[in-house]
């Protein structure tokens, strides 16, 4: 039968089985006349001579399978189900001569696994059958679907993560009392802005726009800006501080940090940012700045040296006085180790350092150091530990005070007391000694008188010394406050001085040379000035015991644009060498060490005090054995207006 | 290349070196895709960048990466995705290699934008053949093909030796691999 059927359509049986391995041929009685090899495997009961419907159940079209049905639906697909296995067949009937119908079908599966479960493989399908391709397409779509699910799950996880992050940021922003926003700069509207903006501006967040928000800014300070980078797609970022004036007129400071929003082409479409109320911080900063300026000014003006060191002992600040004390510019001092200051101060001293090393200098302790370069100076140093309340900052502050003058005054006082005691003791000893002689012995009248005269002379010297000391002390203490400055004709003052001068046992007259023309006018305390000139003239007499002219010359000249008058007193006396001239103004210094010339050694010291309080200077030119010129130079009060000026300077 | 290829690289790296290494390689290759869709075409350049980044991150020559990827492609990607199709292509290594062109004919229908390679077998003996390989892609994928051949050997439990006897890198139109195996029966 099989051979008959295939012969009818002119195709060898083996060939049609290769092309349609799932075929079955039936006759007009629906009896099977031929079965494909693959069909026989999925429907073993489908044997030649059996009724087709015994093995196969028609699923489509509906109805009973008859030759009439097959004829009517000749060009339609017929679906059968193998009764035994449930495998579905999809195919088409082909009528060949002699009433033979071929059903050219193939089993339909939805997955490769179903094919294998049915005991088949894709190799059982003929090459023209698209089942393999359909399954591959299905499989590919399934894989793609799985991929999409996977990507979707991933995105879902990301979305959750983004939501969590957003919640965290929102909480953080809320905790920071900040306002987050997303501004669409193209449409000038906020895609989003926290409701908190209404608290800052007094304007409803729902109606807020970027340009409206900007209208609240009255001052903007740009803190930082980084432009976008087209190559990497990095958007521009900006940090600014804004002073805003709210609707109610109150002012606040807002800190804004923002970043551009770019579209896929890298064009800016908007800005996202955060606004933070930093009013309190700004106020504190301003207060801190004010305090800093105050402190800086105080430290700059302070004659004391200050240097601050950080917790590592590195110099972080020093004031100009400290700079001057070390002789090193601040730029070089910055970062110097506290301990290295030992070397710096050692280098400023030609002598062996006598100060305590910083290593040994205890905290909150003080010591004293002396340097010799550029000049001899003495400083006290105090090191204080500094510690902030929160322990966040620590370090040291070094405080240095220049005590050179104090130490010099101390030294001079000691020296002066020693000399004064010595000078007072000499006549006192004499007075005491001669008084004892008178008390313990009987002398004749002449001797008694001589002793009494000695006592008188020595006590007079004592009185002069004490008076001289008191004059100096008074002038030093008063600093000229008790002087009565008035305009005086210098010629008159000189004449008064010369007229009142009386040198016992010396008949020489002072040779006075006055300035030609109008007499110079000086602003002076007449009494003090006469005292000074008397002292100078008195010395000229005393130190020219062998005679010679005593001359007083008044000269006018100008120095540094100032009209001055010079009172020059010359003698041809014993004169002084340079060393003696340099010591002339020391108290109790006597150019006559023999003591033959009477005097207290205080006269020239007093002259200098008086002249300097008259804004004048004194110059001495002397040669041993040739005589001495003492020149007192005073400012000339040429205009009445100078009165006030001169007086004001004292 | 289709996403299936990139996905296979991801699978291989994740399986052998963990997800952190994959994220690092992806970042090094400047790829920010969160996943690949198998039937979506991606630029070849992306795949090359992934291979280069993997080579650098794993401190392994690119040839070794490609070879390992070839094996992984057969034993995991192809078998897991298209097992029945693979099995239907041949019952032995020889048969599979001979029918490989048919398999690619079907694959080309499913992936219309695919530029599949072309293969041809030239029998040498019972246990060896010359496997010819053409592609429109630049030279350098030969180690990948070599890996495919090793993978197929494992799939059919027929360990193979592969020798590159002619290389496109030397200016030839196609490359030739000599594939040999021990006689099993």
User: Per-residue pLDDT tens for B117-133?
Assistant: 899 999 999 999 999 99
8 Å CB contact of B3 and A143: no
Give the whole-angstrom CA distance, residue B111 versus residue B120. Answer: 21
Compute the 3-state secondary structure of chain A and give helix, strand, coil in percent, each to the nearest 5. 40, 30, 30
Residue A644: what pLDDT? 42
Coil, helix or strand at residue A339:
helix
8 Å CB contact of A123 and B34: no
8 Å CB contact of A147 and B38: yes
Tokens encoding A536: 């100078």
Q: Which of B80, B87, B51 is nearest to B68 (CA)?
A: B51
> Is A118 at the interface with chain B, CB within 8 A?
no
Residue A355: what pLDDT? 57
Residue A5: what pLDDT? 54
Give the whole-angstrom CA distance, residue B107 versus residue B100. Answer: 10
8 Å CB contact of A141 and B82: no
Whether pLDDT at B28 is above 70: yes
Instruction: Quote the DSSP letter at residue A586.
Output: S
Chain A residues 140-159 with a CB less than 8 Å from chain B:
140-141, 143-144, 147-148, 150-151, 154-155, 158
Give the whole-angstrom CA distance, residue B12 versus residue B6. Answer: 10
Whether pLDDT at B38 is above 50: yes
CB A460 within 8 A of CB A450: no
Q: List the single residue in B35, B85, B111 with the smallest CB-CB distance to A151.
A: B35
- Chain A residues whose CB is inside 8 A of the B81 CB are 139-140, 143
- Kind of pairing, strands B128-134 and B175-181? antiparallel
pTM over the 0.90 mark: no
Mean pLDDT by runs of 10 across the 650 residues of chain A is 52 78 93 92 92 93 89 88 93 87 91 83 85 85 88 90 88 82 92 88 90 93 89 88 92 93 86 92 91 90 90 89 87 85 81 61 72 85 80 81 87 78 80 88 88 87 82 74 87 89 82 86 90 90 86 88 90 89 81 70 86 91 91 83 42
CB A490 within 8 A of CB A554: yes
Residue A362: what pLDDT? 58
- Arithmetic mean of pLDDT over chain B: 90
Q: Would you place residue B64 in the very low, low, confident or very high pLDDT band (cuts 50, 70, 90)?
A: very high
CB A39 within 8 A of CB A24: yes
8 Å CB contact of B39 and A112: no
Say whether the ipTM exceeds 0.95: no
Residue A647: what pLDDT? 41
Percent of chain B whose predicted confidence (pLDDT) is above 90: 62
More confident: B185 or A262: A262
Give the whole-angstrom CA distance, residue A33 versus residue A19. Answer: 18
- Kind of pairing, strands A510-513 and A486-489? unpaired
Coil, helix or strand at residue A243:
strand
8 Å CB contact of B88 and A121: yes
């Amino acid at each position: 039968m099989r051979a008959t059927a295939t012969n009818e359509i002119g195709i060898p049986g083996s060939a049609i089985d290769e092309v349609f391995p799932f075929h079955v041929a039936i006759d007009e009685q629906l009896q099977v006349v031929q079965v494909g090899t693959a069909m026989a495997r999925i429907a073993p009961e489908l044997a030649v001579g059996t009724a087709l419907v015994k093995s196969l159940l028609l699923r489509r079209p509906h109805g009973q399978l008859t030759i009439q049905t097959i004829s009517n639906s000749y060009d339609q697909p017929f679906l059968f189900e193998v009764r035994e296995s449930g495998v579905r067949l999809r195919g088409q009937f082909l009528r060949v001569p002699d009433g033979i119908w071929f059903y050219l079908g193939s089993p339909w599966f939805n997955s490769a696994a179903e094919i294998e479960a049915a005991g088949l493989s894709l190799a059982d399908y003929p090459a023209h059958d698209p089942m393999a391709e359909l399954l591959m397409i299905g499989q590919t779509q399934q894989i793609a679907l799985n991929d999409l699910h996977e990507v979707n799950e991933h995105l879902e996880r990301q979305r959750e993560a983004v939501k969590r992050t957003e919640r965290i940021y929102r909480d953080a922003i809320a905790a920071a009392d900040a306002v987050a926003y997303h501004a669409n700069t193209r449409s000038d509207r906020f895609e989003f802005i926290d409701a908190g903006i209404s608290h800052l501006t007094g304007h409803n967040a729902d109606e807020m726009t970027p340009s409206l928000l900007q209208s609240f800014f009255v001052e903007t300070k740009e803190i930082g800006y980084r432009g976008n980078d087209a190559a990497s797609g990095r958007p521009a970022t900006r940090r600014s501080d804004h002073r805003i004036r709210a609707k109610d007129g109150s002012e606040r400071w807002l800190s804004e940090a923002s970043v551009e929003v770019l579209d896929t082409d890298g064009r800016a479409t908007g800005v996202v940012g955060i606004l933070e109320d930093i009013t309190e911080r700004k106020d504190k900063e301003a207060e801190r700045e004010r305090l800093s300026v105050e402190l800086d000014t105080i430290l700059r003006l302070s004659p004391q040296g200050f240097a601050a060191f950080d917790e590592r002992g590195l110099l972080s600040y020093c004031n100009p006085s400290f700079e001057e004390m070390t002789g090193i510019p601040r730029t070089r001092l910055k970062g110097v180790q506290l301990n290295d200051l030992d070397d710096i101060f050692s280098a400023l001293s030609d002598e062996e350092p006598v100060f305590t090393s910083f290593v040994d200098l205890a905290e909150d302790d003080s010591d004293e150091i002396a340097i010799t370069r550029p000049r001899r100076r003495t400083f006290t140093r105090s090191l204080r530990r500094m510690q902030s309340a929160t322990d966040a900052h620590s370090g040291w502050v070094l405080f240095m005070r220049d005590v050179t003058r104090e130490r010099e005054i101390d030294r001079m006082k000691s020296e002066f007391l020693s000399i004064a005691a010595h000078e007072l003791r000499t006549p006192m000893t004499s007075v005491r000694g001669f008084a004892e002689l008178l008390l313990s012995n009987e002398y004749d009248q002449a001797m008694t008188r001589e002793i009494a005269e000695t006592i008188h002379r020595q006590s007079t010297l004592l009185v002069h010394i004490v008076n001289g000391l008191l004059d100096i002390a008074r002038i030093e203490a008063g600093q000229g406050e008790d002087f009565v400055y008035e305009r005086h004709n210098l010629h008159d003052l000189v004449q008064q001085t010369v007229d009142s001068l009386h040198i016992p046992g010396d008949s020489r007259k002072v040779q006075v040379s006055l300035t030609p023309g109008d007499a110079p006018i000086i602003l002076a305390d007449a009494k003090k000035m006469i005292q000074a000139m008397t002292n100078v003239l008195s010395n000229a007499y005393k130190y020219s015991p062998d005679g010679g002219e005593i001359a007083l010359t008044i000269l006018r000249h100008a120095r540094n644009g100032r009209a001055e008058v010079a009172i020059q007193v010359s003698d041809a006396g014993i004169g002084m060498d340079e060393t003696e001239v340099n010591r002339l103004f020391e108290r109790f210094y006597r150019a006559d060490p023999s003591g033959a010339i009477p005097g207290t050694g205080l006269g020239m010291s007093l002259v200098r005090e008086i002249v300097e309080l008259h804004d004048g200077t004194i110059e001495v030119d002397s040669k041993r054995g040739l005589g001495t010129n003492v020149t007192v130079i005073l400012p000339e009060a040429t205009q009445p207006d100078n009165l006030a000026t001169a007086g004001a300077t004292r | 290349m289709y996403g299936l290829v990139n996905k296979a690289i991801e699978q291989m790296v994740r399986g052998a070196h963990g997800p952190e290494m994959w994220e690092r390689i992806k970042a090094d290759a400047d790829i920010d895709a969160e996943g690949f869709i198998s039937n979506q075409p991606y630029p070849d350049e992306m795949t090359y960048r992934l291979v280069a980044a993997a080579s650098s991150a794993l401190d392994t020559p690119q040839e070794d990466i490609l070879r390992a990827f070839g094996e992984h492609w057969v034993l995991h990607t192809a078998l897991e995705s298209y097992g029945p199709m693979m099995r239907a292509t041949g019952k032995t290594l020889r048969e599979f290699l001979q029918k490989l062109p048919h398999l690619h004919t079907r694959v080309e229908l499913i992936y219309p934008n695919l530029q599949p390679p072309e293969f041809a077998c030239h029998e040498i003996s019972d246990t060896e053949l010359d496997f010819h390989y053409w592609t429109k892609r630049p030279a350098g994928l030969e180690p990948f093909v070599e890996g495919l051949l090793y993978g197929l050997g494992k799939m059919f439990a027929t360990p193979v030796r592969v020798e590159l006897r002619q290389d496109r890198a030397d200016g030839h139109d196609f490359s030739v691999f000599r594939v040999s195996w021990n006689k099993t029966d």
